[in-house]
């Protein structure tokens, strides 16, 4: 079954963590609990095996298991995004077809990585992938992780492809994100912020939504950025945006994925560690997280 009846890009989408047991196998029971926790908080979409979901380190069978579990648990309540980008065009097409068959609503296709790709090659890659499936595609730009950036002019060109309906920018570069928005403003196309610090600013500039890792920790607060902005309560939206600064300050202690997953564990949800080797936080980082979470708990954030 399909996860949802709409593919509108809207609101706060959580790149949900992938719960793992001590032996690094997938804990589907906890994954279901995390899905319900997010939906109960008002989240607008669930994105399994994105960056925070450790899609970079899951094999094909694990991705299928995670996606099918999420789609089953979501049961049509919100759209389900699937991270299907791989290094080669061939494998990306295969993963997109897998996710389409499973019933994903939207495919998030990260740029190829490791080898340097020209803009010509990126355009050919995405056009080939788009021609192979009917499910809507969102481009995913995160050059600090992949080594390849989708230039704003390339996004504008790919926005002409019917199957490609949006782009997520996780570059952290405001000028790049703003250019994505401006160059596609007259198209039926949505831009998503992939940097949690820029969410409200992006909404004000015309973005449709955000894929927010911090929603794994504080889903209600992150939803509040969008909901308050949408109803015109800018002060409340700004308060929600500013509230995540202490958590984001903890990212200096390690991989942000590891910090987020550790925080979820410290809140009492047994989602396990990130898969090795990307799972270490120094004790000072863990203690800083504990102090931050306790302070935020007193503020009613969790």
Res 8: pLDDT: 82
Place of tokens 């389900």: 80
- Domain limits, the chain: 11-241
CA distance 246 to 291: 10
Per-10-residue mean pLDDT of the chain, 302 residues long, equals 63 98 98 98 97 95 98 98 97 98 98 96 98 98 96 98 97 97 95 97 98 98 98 98 97 96 98 97 97 94 80
Quote the pLDDT of residue 4. Answer: 53
**Helix, strand and coil percent figures for the chain, each rounded to 5:** 50, 10, 40
List b or e across 39-52, with b for residues whose CB sees 16 or more CB atoms inside 10 angstroms: bebbbbbbbbbbbb
- pLDDT at site 301: 85
Is the link from the previous residue into 289 a cis peptide, with omega within 30 of 0?
no
The catalytic residues are 140, 168
**Parallel, antiparallel, or unpaired for β 164-169 and 137-141?**
parallel
pLDDT value of residue 2 = 42
Query: Which CATH code of 3.90.79.10, 3.20.20.70, 1.20.120.1200, 3.40.640.10 fits the domain covering 11-241?
Result: 3.20.20.70
Q: How many CA atoms lie within 13 A of 288 on its CB side?
A: 16
- Write the pLDDT tens digit of every residue in 64-108: 999 999 999 999 999 999 999 999 999 999 999 999 999 999 999
CA R_g for the chain: 18
| CB 195, CB 145: distance < 8 Å | no
Residue 209, strand partner residues: 11, 192
Query: What's the confidence (pLDDT) of residue 300?
Result: 87
CA distances from 22 to 13, 25, 279 (A): 27, 8, 12
Query: Residue 80, exposed/middle/buried by CB under 10 A (0-12, 13-18, 19+)?
Result: buried
Residue 55 near residue 145 (C-beta atoms within 8 A): no
Sign of dihedral through CA atoms 196, 197, 202, 204?
positive
Give which of 4, 12, 58 is closest to 38, Cα–Cα: 12
């Amino acid at each position: 079954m399909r996860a949802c009846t709409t593919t509108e890009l809207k609101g706060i989408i959580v790149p949900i963590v992938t719960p793992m047991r001590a032996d690094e196998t997938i804990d589907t029971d906890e994954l279901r609990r995390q899905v319900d926790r997010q939906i109960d908080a008002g989240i607008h979409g669930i994105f399994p095996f994105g960056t925070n979901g450790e899609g970079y380190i899951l094999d094909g069978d694990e991705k299928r298991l995670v996606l099918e579990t999420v789609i089953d648990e979501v049961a049509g309540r919100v759209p389900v995004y699937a991270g299907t980008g791989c290094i080669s065009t061939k494998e990306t097409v295969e993963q997109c077809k897998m996710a389409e068959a499973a019933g994903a609503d939207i495919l998030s296709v990260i740029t190829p990585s490791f080898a340097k790709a020209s803009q010509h090659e990126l355009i050919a890659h995405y056009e080939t992938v788009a021609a192979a499936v009917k499910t809507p595609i969102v481009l995913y730009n995160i050059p600090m992780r992949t080594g390849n950036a989708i230039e704003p002019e390339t996004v504008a060109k790919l926005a002409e492809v019917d199957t490609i309906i949006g782009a997520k920018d996780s570059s952290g570069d405001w000028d790049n994100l703003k250019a994505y928005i401006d160059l596609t403003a007259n198209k039926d196309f949505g831009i998503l912020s992939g940097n949690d610090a820029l969410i409200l600013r992006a909404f004000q500039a015309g973005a449709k939504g955000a894929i927010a890792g911090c929603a794994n920790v504080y889903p209600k607060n992150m939803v509040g950025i969008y909901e308050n902005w949408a109803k015109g309560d800018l002060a409340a939206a700004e308060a929600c945006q500013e509230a995540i600064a202490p958590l984001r300050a903890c990212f200096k202690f390690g991989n942000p994925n590891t910090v987020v997953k550790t925080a979820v564990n410290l809140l009492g949800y047994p989602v396990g560690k990130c898969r090795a080797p990307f799972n270490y936080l120094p004790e000072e980082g863990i203690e800083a997280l504990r102090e931050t979470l306790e302070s935020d708990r007193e503020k009613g954030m969790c």
